[in-house]
Amino acid sequence: MQNTLELYNPITVDGKLISKVTYDTEKVTAQQFAQADAYKLRAARSSTAGTMAGISGAFEIDYGLHLYLGFQAIIAENPNFAMEDLERITGSDLVNIMRIGRNFISASPEAPNSLQENSENSSEITLKPTDAVSMNSAKAD
């Protein structure tokens, strides 16, 4: 679904001042997802002199990935924008774009609470402390 983000710090793209950008996370392709990760890795390496510092292994908390996924959602709606154009965005606009990517990672639009619902309806067996003691004493016999 197409959305609009108002930029507090407009950027210039192709000679035009851009103060609003449209985006759509549902149009992000597999290739764009992989590119977002590659751009994030490139940015992290350039800012940490080639080390692996700042690179998270869990995509749910990978803020760099979230930012570049947000950029990809903008590019999906605005194919005339280049990643280099969006990397000129500054300040709180970056945080707002990062949130677009984070929300994309967190849940699908059809079932925003699906992860929570699945854990509530789980068929896992939870042992009570007394069950664990009984099992340990049964092993000792």
Q: What is the pLDDT of residues 59-68, one digit of tens each?
A: 566 678 899 9
The reply to whether 120 falls in a domain is: no
Tokens of residue 71, six digits: 């950029």
The reply to whether 91 falls in a domain is: yes
Instruction: Choose the weakest-confidence range: 13-17, 59-63, 98-102, 116-120.
Output: 116-120
pLDDT at 115 over 70: no
The reply to whether 90 falls in a domain is: yes
The reply to whether 89 falls in a domain is: yes
Range(s) of the domain holding residue 44: 3-111
The rounded distance, in Å, linking the Cα atoms of 46 and 126 is 47
The reply to whether 39 falls in a domain is: yes
Structurally, the chain folds into a number of domains equal to: 1
Query: What local confidence, expressed as pLDDT, does residue 116 receive?
Result: 43
Q: Which of 73, 100, 89, 96 is nearest to 10 (CA)?
A: 89
The reply to whether 13 falls in a domain is: yes
The reply to whether 129 falls in a domain is: no
Beta carbons of 77 and 27 less than 8 angstroms apart? yes
